[in-house]
């Protein structure tokens, strides 16, 4: 290479270093600098907010959770439905690492439990079944304590508390001592306390237990608002109407296991149909109804002094005539649960 060629190469290298590469290269050489084609990455499935696989928990001879499989997609509300003693509260305790599973795998918001339970808990809000408010503190003070415990930055704590008060409809009771609040207000305060740090996941353990219907409706409206804002919610309950109204999906649980899960309307249609016919009378009459219905492929369930015939909209004229007049009502999740487990949710 001659001196002139070397000088030209040196100038090209200097301009390369200064970022003027395209200006130095001949048009035919600019393809050398073209960005290599990259195949688009395959879509990665979103991490579920909650995942339990083969989870077991024993307390002595009692198996509270028995091989539980459960998954809650991010941004949804799942209702964990079952009678008292089904294992719902134990499941909640496992998800907050208050109890440690004997077997199986648990992850919350992508964090493995119990190894990463502290960081997972920091991004969760928990509303316990039992009222554990500090009754000597005001509504605002209860929230301020938890804002600090959840490490909400000091400059943001006042705004966080005000936001939680407004969300729960307790702004006018901010300075009222907790022991002076009504039962419904105390439940709303428990929910506000679990939301003060803006969690990604909210765990509600029997949120409306023991409340009168009017107060329960108020709390339903609050939970429904959270669901619409994209907060993932896992709610354990034994109230059928609560699960049907609030949950995107429900998981029916008994004896520590989920026996079936899906959208409430889909489960009802699959197992109970659209209508149920209820028949009343003495034991002999109820046994006769069961025999006729089962003989024609219609499942039944006992409800105290009556027999409910499921899929009543499909009764043939002949079968309907043999059964006689029955009281028609819409099928519900309790019909499904009793059909599958033989248990009544009380």
pLDDT tens, position by position, 128-158: 988 999 999 999 999 999 999 999 999 999 9
Q: Which residues have CB under 8 Å from 244's CB, separation 6+?
A: 250, 264, 332, 333
- 3-class secondary structure, 148: helix
Q: Give the mean pLDDT of the chain.
A: 87
**pTM beyond 0.85, yes or no:** no
Looking only at the bridges linking them, the beta strands covering 232-237 and 257-262 are unpaired
Question: pLDDT at position 266, please?
Answer: 96
Q: Which of 227, 232, 255, 32 is nearest to 125 (CA)?
A: 232
Residue 322 · residue 292 · CB < 8 Å: yes
* Higher-confidence position of 1 and 314: 314
Question: pLDDT at position 345, please?
Answer: 64
Q: Sorting pLDDT into bands at 50, 70 and 90, what band is 43?
A: low
Report d(CA 310, CA 340) in Å as an integer: 13
Q: Is pLDDT of 24 > 60?
A: no
- Average pLDDT of the residues in 258-272: 95
Dihedral through CA 37, CA 42, CA 43, CA 47, nearest 10?
-130
Q: Give the rounded percent of residues in the chain with a pLDDT score beyond 70.
A: 86
Looking only at the bridges linking them, the beta strands covering 124-127 and 201-205 are parallel
Residue 110 · residue 73 · CB < 8 Å: no
Report d(CA 262, CA 257) in Å as an integer: 15
Question: pLDDT at position 344, please?
Answer: 66
Question: pLDDT at position 41, please?
Answer: 52
- 3-class secondary structure, 44: coil
Question: pLDDT at position 17, please?
Answer: 44
Q: Could you write out the DSSP letters of every residue in 76-124?
A: -EEEEE--TTSSHHHHHHHHTTSS--SEEEEEETTEEETTTHHHHHHTE
Q: Which of 245, 319, 240 is nearest to 279 (CA)?
A: 319
- The CATH number of 50-264, from 3.30.70.1060, 3.40.50.300, 3.30.365.10, 3.20.20.140, is 3.40.50.300
Q: Is pLDDT of 3 > 70?
A: no
Residues of the chain with CATH 3.30.70: 273-330
Q: pLDDT, tens digit, for every residue of 74-91?
A: 999 999 998 888 999 999
Q: Is pLDDT of 111 > 70?
A: yes
Residue 76 · residue 224 · CB < 8 Å: no
Q: Could you write out the DSSP letters of every residue in 172-237?
A: GGTTSBGGGS-HHHHHHHHHHHHHTT--SEEEEESTTTT--HHHHHHHHHHHHHHHHTT-EEEEEE
Question: pLDDT at position 321, please?
Answer: 92
Q: Is pLDDT of 12 > 60?
A: no
- Average pLDDT of the residues in 4-29: 45
Residue 74 · residue 46 · CB < 8 Å: yes
Please state the φ and ψ torsions of residue 53, each to the nearest 5 degrees: -130, 115
- The CATH number of 273-330, from 2.20.25, 3.30.70, 2.60.40, 3.60.21, is 3.30.70
């Amino acid at each position: 290479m001659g001196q002139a060629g070397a000088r030209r190469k040196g100038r090209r290298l200097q301009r390369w270093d200064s970022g003027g590469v395209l200006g130095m290269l001949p048009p035919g050489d600019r393809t050398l600098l073209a960005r290599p084609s990259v195949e688009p990455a395959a879509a990665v499935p979103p991490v579920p907010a909650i995942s339990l696989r083969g989870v077991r928990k024993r307390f002595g001879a009692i198996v509270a959770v028995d091989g539980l499989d459960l998954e809650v997609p991010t941004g949804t509300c799942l209702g964990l439905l079952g009678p008292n003693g089904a294992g719902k509260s134990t499941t909640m305790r496992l998800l907050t690492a208050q109890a440690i599973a004997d077997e199986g795998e648990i992850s919350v918001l992508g964090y493995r439990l119990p190894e990463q339970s502290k960081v997972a808990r920091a991004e969760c809000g928990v509303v316990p079944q039992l009222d554990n408010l500090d009754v000597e503190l005001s509504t605002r003070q209860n929230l301020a304590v938890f804002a600090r415990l959840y490490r909400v930055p000091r400059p943001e704590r006042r705004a966080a508390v005000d936001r939680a008060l407004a969300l729960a409809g307790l702004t006018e009771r901010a300075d009222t001592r907790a022991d002076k609040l009504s039962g419904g207000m105390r439940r709303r305060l428990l929910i506000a306390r679990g939301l003060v740090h803006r969690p990604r996941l909210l765990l509600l353990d029997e949120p409306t237990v023991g409340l009168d219907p009017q107060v329960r409706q108020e709390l339903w409206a609050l939970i429904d608002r959270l669901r619409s804002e994209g907060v993932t919610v896992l709610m354990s309950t034994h109230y059928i109407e609560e699960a049907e109204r609030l949950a995107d999906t429900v998981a029916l649980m008994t004896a520590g296991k989920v026996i079936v899960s899906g959208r409430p309307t889909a489960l009802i249609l699959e197992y109970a149909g659209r209508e149920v016919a209820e028949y009343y009378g003495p034991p002999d009459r109820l046994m006769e109804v069961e025999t006729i219905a089962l003989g024609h492929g219609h499942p039944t369930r006992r409800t105290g002094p009556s027999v409910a015939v499921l899929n009543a909209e499909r009764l043939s004229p002949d079968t309907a005539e043999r059964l006689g007049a029955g009281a028609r009502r819409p099928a519900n999740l309790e019909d499904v649960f009793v059909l599958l487990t033989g248990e009544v949710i009380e």
